[in-house]
Amino acid sequence: MSRLKTSVGQWKLDWKTAPRGHEGVACVEVNSGELLEVRWRRDLDGFWILLPHGIFGFDLQSERDDSGRAIYHVWQRNSNLEWQAVESTYGGYPAVPLEVGVKIKKNRIKAQMPGKIIRIWVKPGQLVDKDQSVGVMEAMKMENEIRAPYSGKISEVKVIEGQTVETGADLILMENAPV
C-alpha cells in the first residue's frame, strides 16, 4: 500500500491515512513506532493539528526545485521552530503540494464561509486591481463582496451564479500580472 511519508526535523511521519480536504482525522506513525490519531484543519496559511499533548499551528510555504519537486518551508506558530527543505513522498514518489502556503494561496480566491454565489463580475483573461470586486456571495442572509486579494489576471472562474459553496472552496484562480 502506498502512503504519504514526510520528514520534519527529527520526526519521521508515515501517514497511515493521508489528510484530504479542508479538515479531518488521520492516523500517523511517528518515528517508526508510536501511532497517533491526528485531528487537523487547514486555514489560509497552513494548518492546525490536535495531538494528545496539545494543539499546534503551522504555516507552510511551497516552492518547486529545479527538478519540479515540491519543497516546503514550515514554521510552527507561537514558536521559534522552523524547518526548511521539507519533502513528502507518496509511494516513493514526490507528493503533490498542499494547497496552502504563501506561494499557492495567492493564486486562489476561496470562500471564507459557506454560501451561495449571487454574481460573478469577471471572466478568464480579465485584469483586475487589488481590492476590486470580482463577485458577490450570499451568506447568513447577507450579501458579501468577493474582492481580488492583489492585482492580477483571472485565469479561471471555478463557480457559476446560483452555485452553493462550502468554506474553503475555490471560487476564482488568479495569476500575478502587471496592471
Collapsing DSSP to helix, strand or coil, 107 comes out as coil
Rounded CA-CA distance 79/99 in Å is 23
pLDDT, tens digit, 9 for 90 and up, residues 69-121: 667 778 888 888 887 767 666 555 555 444 333 333 347 888 888 999 999 99
Question: Domain of 135?
Answer: 106-176
Rounded CA-CA distance 150/62 in Å is 19
* Together in a domain, 58 and 28: yes
* Together in a domain, 51 and 124: no
Per-residue pLDDT, 100: 36
Per-residue pLDDT, 178: 38
* Together in a domain, 97 and 10: yes
Range from 1-10, 26-35, 142-151 that averages highest in pLDDT = 142-151
* Together in a domain, 79 and 165: no
Average pLDDT of span 159-163: 95
* Together in a domain, 15 and 75: yes
Radius of gyration of the chain (CA): 18
Domain end (from 104, 123, 138): 104
Cα–Cα distances (Å) from 32 to 18, 25, 52, 53, 142, in that order, read 16, 20, 18, 19, 50
Cα–Cα distances (Å) from 110 to 52, 125, 147, in that order, read 31, 19, 10
Given a cut of 90, is residue 161 above it in pLDDT? Answer: yes
Sorting pLDDT into bands at 50, 70 and 90, what band is 5?
Answer: confident
Q: Tell me the three cell numbers of residue 82.
A: 522552523
Which residues share a beta bridge with 5? 14, 89
* Together in a domain, 17 and 95: yes
* Together in a domain, 35 and 111: no
Domain end (from 60, 88, 104): 104
H-only helix segments in the chain: 102-105
Please calculate the CA angle 5-20-161 and round it to the nearest 5 degrees. Answer: 150
Rounded CA-CA distance 33/47 in Å is 24
* Together in a domain, 8 and 76: yes
Sorting pLDDT into bands at 50, 70 and 90, what band is 66?
Answer: low
Domain end (from 61, 81, 104): 104
* Together in a domain, 141 and 76: no
Q: What does pLDDT average to over the chain? A: 79
* Together in a domain, 12 and 97: yes
pLDDT, tens digit, 9 for 90 and up, residues 15-43: 787 777 788 888 888 887 888 888 888 88
One-letter amino acid for residue 178 of the chain: P
* Together in a domain, 54 and 23: yes
Collapsing DSSP to helix, strand or coil, 103 comes out as helix
Top pLDDT among 82 and 64 is at 82
Work out how many domains the chain is built from and give that number. 2
Sorting pLDDT into bands at 50, 70 and 90, what band is 11?
Answer: confident
Nearest to 70, CA basis, from 101, 105, 94: 94
Nearest to 139, CA basis, from 119, 117, 155: 117
**Tell me, what CATH number does 159's domain have?**
2.40.50.100
